[in-house]
Structure 1
Amino acid sequence: MRTTSAVIGAAAVTLALAACGAPSEQQAASGGGDGDVLRVGVNPVPHGDILEFIDENLAEEAGLELEIVEISDYNTPNSALVEGELDANYFQHRSFLNEWVSNAPDADLTYVTDVHIERLGLYSDTVESLEDLPEGAEIAVPNDPANLNRALRILETEGLVEIDPEAGESATEKDITGNPQDITVTPLEAAQLPRSIADVDAAVVNGNYAIEAELPTESNVLAWEPEGDDYVEAYANGLVALDENAEDERVLLLAELLHDERVLEFVRDSWKGVVLAVDADGNVVETSGE
């Protein structure tokens, strides 16, 4: 068995979708309509790495053939799934999916299972600890609604800002009611955050982009996001499929393999402290160190 791996940007997928007809025609054109190969869209890290591990070590024995499609942004994987270019995707948490679907009400997507959590971290190249953050510091944060709220909660937990309780889980920088150090919070596209660190005092970066930029080892980690009781429910990244394919035997088989003990060990050992594996029961697998 051989995996076909492809890297697709947002523009390329848009062109591909425009060039195809109905979903059944799109699947036939992509080679994913034969009912055997499972075509899964992923962000490259860690999602793509995890699927590559499954393909190289577990899939053949289990009778699953994967085609791994790497997509670098956050919006294209859901669009490609709805349009029939993918059989499933694996890159997002429920909060992001719910926000995306709220803007695409005709999209019938099912969150199949939790797989891992990518911890948001507050990173800096110039500041060594929270105590060293200067008055008037600029902190960059993700600008998508789900992760913006998540980033602000790190700043709130560390006492850097106070947020209006009425904002709930939809807090933005406009909901900051207390700011004792006169911090400037600057929302940016999540993929741009690692590059922004040189231009700001600190940045809250999503785990996948932090890993790609080697921030956990090359930059100072000032704080990790807090882990509340609903941490897995809110922020575990998981496998998503169209409603009509959620019970597809290939999708269910991949879900099973994603919780295999060998996969949990791979996640635990590869990204200690940044990526937290989630088992089939929805429990965070303890890391062996950070």
Structure 2
Amino acid sequence: MTIKALSSAVLLATALLATPALAETIRIGATPGPHAQILEAVKPILAEQGYELEILEFSDYVIPNEALASGDLNANSFQHQPYLDNQVRDRGYAIESVATTVNFPIGIYSDKVENIADLPEGAKIGIPNDPTNGGRVLLLLEDNGLLDLTDGVGTAASVADIIDNPKNFEIIEVDAAQLPRVLPDVDAAGINTNFAEQAGLDPINDPILREDAKGPYVNVIAVRSEDKDQPWVKALVDVYHSDEIRTFVETTFNGAVLASW
């Protein structure tokens, strides 16, 4: 090799070393609001580790798991463990949680009354129409003496499990994302925190009844079972569970959203 050729080879090698490696893309699904906001905070930190986080927002609770199971997504971050368990059981998805994220205590809101005890006979109460979040509201009503449910039904509670309804409430099942819109048309509605915030409701001060922050409804990051040991999964979880993201959650949501780690 001539000196000129050797110099050219050295220059080419130097240029290649100086060129940043292409980032590996992680496509993650989330619902709009806090879930997506937190992932936006995760994104630049994860980029420092060579991963490009592509965040896709979904307005419902069904498509993100379908998209994950089919391979259109690498991960999702929008659901709590009981909902994921229900989806896996009912639909046979080979997906599972790899980390907890945040907790959104669900609240019951009303434009008609300021106290849950003031709900009238025959009041219309909207609840999410998905199995776990609807059951969540029913359990909250039961815990406050407003309904009785089948013994031991737990997080699987449904309208069919109501065995005593002393004030003859009319329970109306509505898509979770639509509940803020129907709030003026009902006496009260159980609304998930992310949808409440999008509608301009205050999840701390506006509910006439609010779920205890502790419980089984902590949200999770889910991936396909075949991917759970991939390096990008560990990187994503490590960044999400970092002190920087905890601080972001605490300062951004002021107690409406609680870090689980």
Q: TM range, normalised to the smaller chain?
A: 0.7 to 0.9
* Map of 1:252 onto structure 2: 234
1:39 corresponding residue in structure 2: 27
My pick for the range that moved more, 58-67 or 68-77, is 58-67
Task: Name the structure 2 match of 1:81.
Answer: 68
Structure 2 counterpart of 1:256, which letter?
A: D
- The one-letter amino acid paired with 2:75 is A
Q: Do residues 142 (structure 1) and 128 (structure 2) align?
A: yes
Q: Does 1:48 pair with 2:36?
A: yes
Moved more, 264-273 or 92-101: 264-273
The AA in structure 2 aligned to 1:184 is E
On the 8 A contact 2:23/2:51 being kept in 1, the answer is no
CA distance in 2, matches of 1:267, 1:48: 12
Q: Deviations over 1:206-262 (max 9, x none)?
A: 11111111221798310111355xx1xx31111111111111111110101111111
1-structure distance, mates of 2:54, 2:212: 35
Please say if residues 107 and 203 of structure 2, whose CA atoms lie closer than 8 Å, have aligned partners that are also in contact.
no
Return the alpha-carbon distance in structure 1 between the equivalents of residues 162 and 57 of structure 2: 36
Query: How many residue pairs end up in the alignment?
Result: 240
The reply to whether residue 97 of structure 1 matches residue 84 of structure 2 is yes
Separation (CA, whole Å) in 1 of partners of 2:212 and 2:43: 33
Report the CA distance shift for 1:227/1:77 in structure 2 as closer, same or farther (over 3 A). Answer: same
Are positions 1:119 and 2:105 aligned together? yes
Under a length normalisation based on structure 2, what TM-score does the superposition of the two structures give? 0.86
Q: Distance in 1 between matches of 2:226 and 2:23?
A: 14
Q: Which residue of 1 aligns with 2:57?
A: 70
Cα distance in 1 for partners of 2:56, 2:241 equals 21
Name the CA shift for 1:166/1:260 in 2 (closer, same or farther; >3 Å). closer
CA drift at 1:166 = 4.5
Name the amino acid aligned to 2:148: E
Unaligned runs of 5+ in 1: 1-33, 280-290
Contact 1:264 1:278 in 2 (8 A): no
3-state SS in 1 of match to 2:33: helix
Change (3 A) 1:217 1:122: closer
Structure 1 residues 127-138: aligned runs within 5 Å: 127-138=113-124
Q: Which amino acid aligns with 1:69?
A: L
User: Which of the pair has the greater relative contact order for Cα pairs under 8 Å at 6+ separation?
Assistant: 2
Contact preservation (8 Å) 2:41, 2:245: yes
| Identity, % of aligned positions | 38
Larger-gyration structure (1/2) = 2
Query: Is 1:165 matched up with 2:151?
Result: yes
Report Cα offsets for 1:241-284 as digits up to 9, x if no partner: 111111111111010111111111211222233211111xxxxx
Give the secondary structure class of the aligned counterpart of 2:255: coil
Q: 1:201 aligns with which of 167, 184, 187?
A: 187
Q: Partners of 1:50 and 1:110 in 2: how far apart?
A: 20
CA contact (8 A) 2:104 2:256 kept: yes
Deviations 1:70-110 (A, max 9, x none): 111111111111111111111111111111112222x2112
Corresponding letter in the other structure for 2:239? L
Structure 2 residue identity aligned to 1:191: A
Q: 2:255 & 2:145 partners in 1: Cα distance?
A: 22
Q: Is residue 173 of structure 2 the alignment partner of residue 187 of structure 1? A: yes
CA RMSD of the aligned region, Å?
1.9
Task: Report the alpha carbon displacement of residue 63 of structure 1 after superposing the two structures with TM.
Answer: 2.9
Q: Given the alignment, which residue of 272, 281, 286 partners 2:254? A: 272
Are 2:124 and 2:172, in contact at CA under 8 Å, matched by a contact in 1?
yes
Distance 2:226 2:166 in 1: 51
Counterpart check, 1:61 vs 2:43:
no
What is the identity, as a one-letter code, of the residue corresponding to 2:47? E
CA distance in 2, matches of 1:81, 1:172: 27
Task: Report the Cα offset of residue 125 of structure 1.
Answer: 1.4
Please give the alpha-carbon distance, in whole angstroms, between the structure 2 residues aligned to 1:149 and 1:217.
19
